[in-house]
Structure 1
């Protein structure tokens, strides 16, 4: 059986790791390089680094910081934020990332997905999607960009399907409604997207305790779960979460955990 992945997310603002609730009231919680090294030691399967202000500020990725984080981890490393051109993708990969996450720029320039997949391969191109409940949309969820600050006219399910057709090899699906609440993932949204695309879907937003991951990896049909607050707070370690998932019958890689 294919192993489920546990992925830690570092939201970065002004070179520091930050965390908010529903994309608001962010506070500084530490140095991303030191935190990346610690989560790697704990046995995380992958790491995601988001520069949450890059697109809104109209600038590209911070390559020096990406390079320093990459030097601390020897696992798949995905970078998002401000990646708007093929040259941005190339420079981010050269700085040490294995994958790039295209979110706001993919909405504004969908051809970036197809061109990125053609040049670097589908496995390098991840669609980052921020969605929130909206009964006016066919699927019941609307896509937002620029760090959740700007609503689009895109329906979440339609956009997920289109992005995969264009060449996205994976989707990080973030529920704005659940983000940072630690009350559990948005199972309905995650299941709907997972059942309608043929690429891995990573559930993001709302993880607060291991049971939440168990539910989204089983009932939500996610291929991976992204966590932030529950480990940033120190309430859990990656290895303790994996052990709990294993006890719940969720297939995870335990061999990389530090006991």
Structure 2
């Protein structure tokens, strides 16, 4: 994948070539516009598609794994109605998952958050506010959000979280700097369920199962009845395929906590 540094270098070289050539022969404005548009579209795509590893490196799947394992992950909880249902299903099928929780939801439901940990699942930082404008926050504001959530979790559980998942999967230079300064490891995905969209249960399940293989990281949300219904059918699918759902840190052999 093209990184931001590589794309910026190519763009600047192209711009330098255009400027140099313009001294000998006029360069049409559409050529400059095309160069600028290409840079903008690549940067925009790199900000919204975490698998590109454009602004920062994320663990999106484990292609080198030699075990029949996948990692189910949940974003946006804990939710008082649906997280307990997810935990019940995971326990029924002897599956483990990673919950990337929003700080303000942890603050509202600390006992439920502790129950996630008690049942042997891993937890990670999914920002404090999950604000729609998070992608526009500066480095200091991003650090403030992540630090607030980590301190909250440490106070509740004694654990110092080391895993981070960007809100909406959005990355940019400010977020990259904040994550680096805090020493967090970013976790992405390679199977996006789109369970929060208009797609129905069958469509979401088909999307997941058609993309799931050893080493996959599956993105779900523990925030709706549809997602819980999909989870149950997914767990049956994994059981039939003899694929085990494990925590992200187990699949990558990394530390979930400092």
> By the TM > 0.5 criterion, same fold?
no
**What is the TM-score of this pair, normalised by structure 1?**
0.43
Question: TM-score, length-normalised on structure 2?
Answer: 0.43
Relative contact order higher in (CA < 8 Å, ≥ 6 apart): 2
Q: Which has the higher strand share?
A: 1
Which structure has the larger Rg?
A: 2
